[in-house]
Amino acid sequence: MKPFTIVIPYRPEPFFKKILLSLMESRLVERMMILAQEPVHFHMDKCHLLVTSPLPSHKTLGLIMDGIRTKYLLLLLEAQQISIEPKALERFLEVAESTKAGMVYSDFYDQSDQGKTNHPLNDYQLGSVRDDFDFGAIILFSVPAIQRALEKYGTIPEVEISGLYDLRLKVSIDHSIYHLKEPLYSVIKTEGLSSDGKLFAYLDPQHRALQKEMETIFTEYLKNIGAYLPPNFKEIEQVTKSFPVETSVIIPVRNRKETIGDALKSALSQETDFPFNIIVVDNHSKDGTTTILSDFSKQYFNLKYIVPERTDLGIGGCWNEALQHKACGRYVVQLDSDDLYNGNRTLQKMVDMLRQGNFAMVIGSYTIVNERFEEIPPGLIDHREWTDENGRNNALRINGLGAPRAFDTSLMRKIGFLNVSYGEDYAAALRICREYRIGRIYESLYLCRRWSGNTDAGISLEELNRNNTFKDAIRTEEILARQKIVQK
């Protein structure tokens, strides 16, 4: 018997038949399963039409596994226009055999009218547990690895969209997922989500049912690998030392002359029943930001701006500078230099929750706006997927926890922030919820401005890969730390 069964979703497009013909020419293909959600007239050698739900559903994956007799299962994840490189299937097979991996995926080419460009993917880590990890358009599973995983960790639950996510996680427990760093196929580029659309897609309220499916699957995975934490939390240590003020608004800034004034006015307009100050860490701005800060500080006694001695600080490093400053208050609340608080009671509401509950951190909700502060899709981001019972576990799966963020200063002086400018807030939140409770406010307290100057606006593929690799590394470290807690 030949080694490959290939599964591909049906598309009534001319390119679809071309893909099939190129695959059927391979001496490695035993059978092809064509997935369609309604009957279609389709007859080709080696091809079996399967009228069923979409590929990621438990029903479809169950039918595929019931009908497979080969050693390997090759999935074309989307019915998009692709072109297989010569000997690509042979290369997939060679690597699968030599590595004994449970799953193999490869780099590919982006093809357009301008030609072909390499599209590298990221290596898979222990912390690569996001449901949107990019494996490209083609993945190869070892069928024995699937069978062992399902026998040991249970069959795919009755889910409509997240069955493939469940399968990948279960296979990864006892088998490697191997990244083949060669482009083995081309994807003909079409219009897709903008970078902002991808950034916020998982937060769209329309996707909440899907996110609940994913959370349930991921929580079971954490239990299987010994990294699940029940909702038992440490108490916040009561600090008797005095602070100069109750709260400090922390604003790291570098070269934001267009927006820093609005941010400062927003912070200064806060109405509270406690004294607060604003600590701006000017990370050696060169565009006139420093002059704006100097002018504001002459008008407002509670505005402190500092320029660190070090010139190698990221956003996290600037936060550490503010935390250790003598003017820092009992609590610290985040405000980015291009954002605003939504109203003049944000600070009061954040600190009230820190005071009243046994929370090490409080996170509010924010609204996405444009440069003119007009609401734009997806609008309110409230992270309602969070629960006190399971939020600390699900936090490992999602890509962020929200804004604005407020912290207990004494605890954060011990934990600190990573000296980076991407993911420092996420790493801090994961570290905190490993042991302490995080409080949530589901009302919009913050305006997150999307504009060309955002650090994550229009980033290159290389930057995107680097950012995702870094966050996956943060998750890897956190999963290992939690496994040690469970083992005690």
| pLDDT tens, residue order, the chain (488 aa) | 999 999 999 988 888 888 998 998 899 999 999 999 999 887 787 899 999 999 999 999 999 999 899 999 999 997 678 999 999 999 999 999 999 999 999 999 999 988 999 999 999 999 999 999 999 999 999 999 999 999 999 999 999 999 999 999 999 999 999 999 999 999 997 655 444 545 555 555 557 788 999 999 999 999 999 999 999 999 998 888 899 999 999 999 999 999 999 999 999 999 999 999 999 999 999 999 999 999 999 999 999 999 999 999 999 999 999 999 999 999 999 999 999 999 999 999 999 999 987 899 999 999 999 998 999 999 999 999 899 999 999 999 999 999 999 999 999 999 999 999 999 999 999 999 999 999 999 999 999 998 776 666 678 999 999 999 999 999 999 999 999 999 98
The alpha carbon dihedral of 11, 13, 16, 21 has a sign of positive
In contact, 185 and 83? CB cutoff 8 Å: yes
- Per-residue pLDDT at 4: 98
Distance of CA 236 to CAs 204, 355, 357, 481, Å?
33, 11, 10, 20
Q: Which amino acid is at 287?
A: D
The token pair at 350 is 């954040």
In contact, 199 and 456? CB cutoff 8 Å: yes
Report the 10 Å Cβ neighbour count for 118.
11
- Per-residue pLDDT at 457: 60
- Per-residue pLDDT at 335: 98
What is the β-pairing status of strands 4-9 and 29-36?
A: parallel
Phi, then psi, of 299 in degrees rounded to 5? -95, -30
Give the 3-state DSSP-derived string for 420-484, with helices as H, strands as E and coil as C. Answer: CCCCHHHHHHHHHHCCCEEEEEEEEEEEEECCCCCCCCCCCHHHHHHHHHHHHHHHHHHHHHHHH
Q: Give 4-192's CATH code, choosing from 3.20.20.10, 3.30.559.30, 3.40.50.720, 3.90.550.10.
A: 3.90.550.10
Reduced to 3 states (helix: H, G, I; strand: E, B; else coil), residue 366 is strand
Q: Assign domain 247-487 to its CATH architecture.
A: Alpha-Beta Complex (3.90)
As a whole number of angstroms, the distance between CA 55 and CA 159 comes to 11
The alpha carbon dihedral of 260, 263, 269, 275 has a sign of negative
- Per-residue pLDDT at 15: 85
Q: Where are the domain boundaries for CATH 3.90.550.10 in the chain?
A: 4-192, 247-487
Distance of CA 155 to CAs 29, 55, 60, 344, 417, Å?
27, 16, 13, 52, 40
- Per-residue pLDDT at 193: 47
What is the β-pairing status of strands 72-76 and 138-142?
A: antiparallel
- Per-residue pLDDT at 357: 78
